[in-house]
Amino acid sequence: MLPTESSRRVLRFGIVGGAVMLCFMALNWLLGLVLSAQQAFFAAYLPALGLHFFLNKLWTFNDQRALSRRHLLDYLSSVVVTF
């Protein structure tokens, strides 16, 4: 029996989360060699956030529509709330 689209989406969402976490950790570590811990964190956070957004948009949810201002603002507002 093949998994449903929903279960494949959940799996892709988990893979994206793990990949973004590894990317953020590596970038944070590298930047931490030359910046303070807080500066490295914030410098690594933005690229990881962008990677998370675009991987989920394009791969997890297969959203091929053009990026809208509302879509981006909804994502950024959820980031601010959870941060």
Kindly report, residue by residue over 50-81, the tens digit of the pLDDT. 999 999 998 998 888 888 888 889 888 988 89
> Per-residue pLDDT tens for 18-53?
999 999 999 999 999 999 999 999 999 999 999 999
Cβ(56)–Cβ(17) below 8 Å: no
Number of alpha carbons in the 13 Å side-chain half-sphere of residue 27: 17
- What count of other Cβ atoms lies within 10 Å of the Cβ of residue 35? 15
